[in-house]
């Protein structure tokens, strides 16, 4: 497998073919990718809303309003739309639930291992909270999942359009995310490009190697 080829081939899709759907088996792989995405101290500070129905996509598209109206057609015409959300807090109850899940999944072969995991995660969370960066830290983990999703889509020849341009507060209300303790971060429309996708033909651009890498 040449995974770099998938990365290089991938383009942000600007217009989707509204008739063409992602086969369930392939979308299932992307769902798995999201589920198994890594996160700092396995904190999984996220939630994913998946809109695969016309009604669901219309609800998401409501947030592509005002200055962001240009994003609405991508959401409506895509095969599947994922709203990647971050947690708004990391309460002790949530940390307990993570630990219980890890125990149930067989991560700990001793009481010490369980205690150590609780301490390490507690240390990182406490450090971020004290520094006032807990929100940003949780959001970064969501972007980590986003990076996997976009590369995974590329590897499966699925076109993706990641969007930061939407009314997040409105979407948090529309989808009831705020009430559940989540905050929408980024929307990814997924499907197959239409003939109207100007970006498919445009070459990708990146800064030169020398600007990107230092070898030591």
- Residues in region 120-159 near a second copy by CB under 8 A: 124, 136, 139-141, 143-152, 155-156
CA dihedral 70, 182, 18, 63 (to 10 degrees): -30
Stretch of 13-21, 26-34, 71-79, 189-197 lying at the interface with a second copy (CB under 8 A)? 26-34
Residue from the set 21, 33, 65, 88 that interacts with a second copy by CB under 8 A? 33
178 binds a second copy (CB under 8 A): no
Residue 115 beta carbon to a second copy: minimum distance, rounded to whole angstroms: 16
The string of DSSP codes covering 142-209 is HHHHHHHHHHHHHHTT-EEEEE--S-HHHHHHHTTHHHHTEEEEEEEEEE-B-TT-HHHHSPP----H
Residues 6+ away with beta carbon under 8 Å from 139: 86, 185
Judged by beta carbon, residue 18 or residue 56, the one nearer a second copy is: 56
215 binds a second copy (CB under 8 A): yes
Residues 50 and 153: their CA atoms lie apart, in Å, by 15
Stretch of 13-21, 48-56, 71-79, 189-197 lying at the interface with a second copy (CB under 8 A)? 48-56
Residue from the set 4, 93, 132, 179 that interacts with a second copy by CB under 8 A? 4
Judged by beta carbon, residue 17 or residue 60, the one nearer a second copy is: 60
Known active-site residue 25:
no
Restricted to residues 49-68, the positions that interact with a second copy (CB under 8 A) are 49-53, 55-56, 59-60
DSSP structure class, residue 31: H
Known active-site residue 102:
no
Instruction: Determine the length of the chain.
Output: 216
- Asked if 130 contacts 19 with a C-beta cutoff of 8 angstroms, the reply is no
216 binds a second copy (CB under 8 A): yes
Is the dihedral angle over the CA atoms 172, 178, 180, 183 positive or is it negative? positive
Judged by beta carbon, residue 71 or residue 194, the one nearer a second copy is: 71
Known active-site residue 14:
yes
- Residues that are catalytic: 14, 74, 164
């Amino acid at each position: 497998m040449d995974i770099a080829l998938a990365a290089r081939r991938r383009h942000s899709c600007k217009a989707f073919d509204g008739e063409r759907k992602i086969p369930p088996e392939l979308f299932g792989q992307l769902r798995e990718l999201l589920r198994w995405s890594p996160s700092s101290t396995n904190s999984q500070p996220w939630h994913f809303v998946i809109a695969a129905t016309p009604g669901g996509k219309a609800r998401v598209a409501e947030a592509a309003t005002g200055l962001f109206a240009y994003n609405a057609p991508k959401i409506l015409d895509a095969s599947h739309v994922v709203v990647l959300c971050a947690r708004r807090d990391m309460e002790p109850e949530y940390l307990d639930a993570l630990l219980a899940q890890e125990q149930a999944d067989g991560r700990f072969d001793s009481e010490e291992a369980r205690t150590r995991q609780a301490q390490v995660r507690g240390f990182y969370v406490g450090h971020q909270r004290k520094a006032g960066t807990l929100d940003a830290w949780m959001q970064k983990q969501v972007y980590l999942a986003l990076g996997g999703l976009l590369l995974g889509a590329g590897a499966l020849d699925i076109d993706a359009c990641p969007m930061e341009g939407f009314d997040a507060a409105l979407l948090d209300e529309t989808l009831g995310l705020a009430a559940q303790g989540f905050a929408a971060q980024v929307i990814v429309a997924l499907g197959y490009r239409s003939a109207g996708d100007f970006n498919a033909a445009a070459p990708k651009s990146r800064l030169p190697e020398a600007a990107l890498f230092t070898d030591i």
